[in-house]
Structure 1
Amino acid sequence: MIDITEETAEGLLEIRATGRVTEQDYETVLIPAVTRARDWGVPVRLLYQIGPDFDGYSPGALLADARLGLKHWRGFEKIAVVTDNDKIEAGVRMFGFTLPCPVRTFDLDKRDEARLWLRESLGALHVEEIGEDALEVQLIGRLDSASYKARTPDLDAYGAAHDRYRLMVDLRRFEGWQGPAAVGEHLGLIRHHRRQPYRIAVVGDKSWMKLAETVLPMVLDAKTKYFDEDDYPAARAWLLA
């Protein structure tokens, strides 16, 4: 069965699946809840909790799930799947990329972390001065062009006040860009400030992010070093040394 544990007018929907999930659960509980959110004019941020007592889906439930996805293909903003079931986690990792919104899995004891992730803006840039002539930029979530435009004035103001500066780029919660416009804003920001950073520390959690250590020195006049996510303190110490 499916129970709704939280539902808000802002589109936050928390559900819990227990026992065997049937077509009736979709028709009487989940689909009406998603429809209500769409009627309110907000995208759905879904927390889907699947505990140890979950016993699978009936064939009718699988069909209802497919119909829900097709009808509301663009209706979801984020989906957090909270479970300790290894098979479900593997399935989400394998097929989550096919969905038009970010999907993440969390262990059952990380449910509060999942809620925090759902409540965060879909994408944001955080800019903070962390020392004398030292700036930290955090890229969070999936960034759109508006995310960059919201922070460009802050970055331009800092650049106007500092001829050269040290830069910390925190990519630990970065999930990519929402289309070519966001990529263009990102490249434009690099081009505009390319001569100002002289020392850059990049902290990330994905293998492709290590390329920054090779690529950035090609376009920026800056010594660049990459650090894994657990080495954030070391990255900051290296930058500020």
Structure 2
Amino acid sequence: MSNVHGIYVEIDKLDDKVFMEFKAIGTLKHQDYEKITPLIDDALEGIDNPIVDIYIDGTDFEGWDLHAAWDDLKLGLKHGKKFHKVAIYGNQHWQEIMSKVGDWFVSGEVRFFDEPLDAIAWLRD
């Protein structure tokens, strides 16, 4: 396990459609969420009924520390009803299990993929 950690985010908006791409690296910490939460809040501000599709690359993701896990839960509770599709691309069985748990907090669909092109194709479908 390395000390390198972070979440990289790219957000594209067109009218009420929002596409977010995340790359999670290492074990996420509270300060990682302090950086991305305002970006997500700003992207969704002023849109009454956003349609949010999300692509998460978790191939370098190792998990959360306790505070970051709480931050992730709060983020899901705050914005989860706005999420239309969440595609998680990963390479660990526990990530697939977490995608099923994440589905409880999202009004749309959450799916796990072991091929990135399959994940993108599903989001575009």
1:100 is matched with which residue? Answer: 107
Counterparts of 1:159-178 in structure 2, within 5 Å, are none
Which of 28, 31, 55 is equivalent to 2:62?
55
Which of 5, 11, 17 is equivalent to 1:7?
11
Indicate yes or no: 2:125 matched with 1:117: no
Which of 25, 34, 41 is equivalent to 2:32?
25
Deviation at residue 96 of structure 1 after TM alignment: 4.4
SS at match of 2:80: coil
Aligned-residue Cα RMSD (Å) equals: 1.7
State the alpha-carbon separation in 1 of the partners of residues 22 and 88 from structure 2. Answer: 10
Indicate yes or no: 2:76 matched with 1:76: no
Length-normalised TM-score, structure 2? 0.80
Counterparts of 1:123-202 in structure 2, within 5 Å, are none
Higher relative contact order (CA 8 A, sep 6+): 2
**Structure ID, larger Rg:** 1
AA of the residue aligned to 2:90: T
- Cα gap change, 1:96/1:57 in structure 2, threshold over 3 Å: closer, same or farther? closer
AA of the residue aligned to 2:116: R
State the alpha-carbon separation in 2 of the partners of residues 47 and 40 from structure 1. Answer: 22
* Residue segments in structure 2 that go unaligned for 5+ positions in a row: 1-5
- Percent identical pairs in the alignment equals 31
SS at match of 2:86: strand
Deviation at residue 43 of structure 1 after TM alignment: 2.7
Q: What count of residue pairs does the alignment treat as equivalent?
A: 114
Length-normalised TM-score, structure 1? 0.44
State the alpha-carbon separation in 2 of the partners of residues 97 and 12 from structure 1. Answer: 18
Moved over 6 A (4+): none
- Cα gap change, 1:23/1:71 in structure 2, threshold over 3 Å: closer, same or farther? same
AA of the residue aligned to 2:44: R
